[in-house]
Amino acid sequence: MSAQPAFDVNTDAIVERIETEGYAVVEQLLPLEDVLEIKDALAPWLQGERMGRNDFEGLSSERVYALLAKAPPIAKIIENPVTLAVIDRLLPTNYLLSACLAINVHPGETPQRFHSDDSGSRFWKAPHSWCGISTIWSFDDFTGDNGATEVIPGSHLWAEEDFPPAEDQAVKVEMPAGSVVIFAGNLLHRGGANKSQGKRLGITPQYCAPWLRQLENMVLAVPPDIAGQYSDRVQSLLGYNVIDPGFMGHVDGLHPKRLIDPDYKGRKTRGVAS
C-alpha cells in the first residue's frame, strides 16, 4: 500500500488527521537549499563508521545522535514553525525534545520490528493516549524500495486485543526529499527494508510531554556553551527551562537558562517558562 496523498499546510487538518489516523504527511516543507545545507553539515558524521548495534538500530544503517552538538543547521527542522504549531496543539505546554537522530539506511537493510516511540513510557493497558509526537524528515526521497517508513494507521487508538499488527496493515510513507511525516508517539511504525541500490537519509526529531524523561539526555548532549548559539525555543526544547507551578527543572534553585545567560531574568515566551 502507499500512503494517502499529502495535503496543503493546514494545522487544523494535520491535527485532525493525526488524531484519527495517527499520522500526517506534509510534502516538501523544507526548501531544497536547507535540505542540501543540512546534508552537508551531516556529511562528516556519515562515513559508514556508525552502523547500528543490533537489528533494531539496523546493522546496515548509520545512526547519529546528539545532532545539535554536531550539525547546527538541524535546528531548522527542530523548530520548524509548521511542525511546532501542530505539536503545540497535541502536547502540553513546555514539551521537550526527547530525541533527534539521523538514520541513513544503506542497501540491504532489513525492516525493523513494529514499535512506538513512546514505548519507554507506555502504559501497559491499551488503549492509552500518546506521551509524545514524532516527526521524520526525508533528506532523500522515501520510496517503497529504499526503506520508507511504514505506519499502521489507527494503531494509536488500538485496544490490547488488536496487537500485534499484520504485515498487510502497513502503509509505506512515500514522500519526496524535504517532506515530513508527523505522528502520534504511540503509533506503530517501523523503518522499511532497503531493496534499492542507494541510501535513504532521514532525521527524526521526537518531542515528549514535559514530565517525561527524554530519550536522549539533551542537556548533557548539548551543554550550555553549545546551547547558547540556539534560539530560546530550541533551548527550551532541550530542557533549559522550568515548569510552573513548582519550578520543576531548576538548577541549584535557579532557572537553568542562567547557565547560558547569567543575566537571564525570565522572559515570557511560548514554551519558555519564567
Q: Would you list the domain boundaries of the chain?
A: 11-215
26, 180 Cβ separation under 8 angstroms: yes
- Compute the distance between CA of residue 242 and CA of residue 2 in angstroms, rounded to an integer: 42
- Compute the distance between CA of residue 246 and CA of residue 221 in angstroms, rounded to an integer: 25
pLDDT in the model for residue 9: 80
Cell digits for 274?
A: 519564567
Q: What are phi and psi of 263, to 5 degrees?
A: -95, 5
The tens digit of pLDDT for each residue in 126-139 reads 567 899 999 999 99
229, 236 Cβ separation under 8 angstroms: no
The fold for domain 11-215 equals Jelly Rolls (2.60.120)
144, 109 Cβ separation under 8 angstroms: no
170, 152 Cβ separation under 8 angstroms: yes
The tens digit of pLDDT for each residue in 19-77 reads 999 999 999 999 999 999 999 999 999 998 778 888 888 889 999 999 999 999 999 99
Indicate the DSSP class of residue 251: B
**Helices (DSSP H) in the chain: which residue ranges?**
11-21, 32-42, 75-78, 81-90, 218-221, 224-227, 232-238
Grid cell 527494508 is found at 193
Beta bridge partners of 172: 2, 150
pLDDT in the model for residue 159: 87
The stretches in the chain having pLDDT less than 70 are: 1-8, 120-127, 245, 266-274
Cell digits for 120?
A: 519507554
Helix axis angle, 81-90 to 11-21, nearest 10°: 50
Residue 53's alpha-carbon distances to 46, 64, 140, 191, in angstroms, are 16, 12, 23, 15
Cell digits for 37?
A: 545545507
pLDDT in the model for residue 272: 42
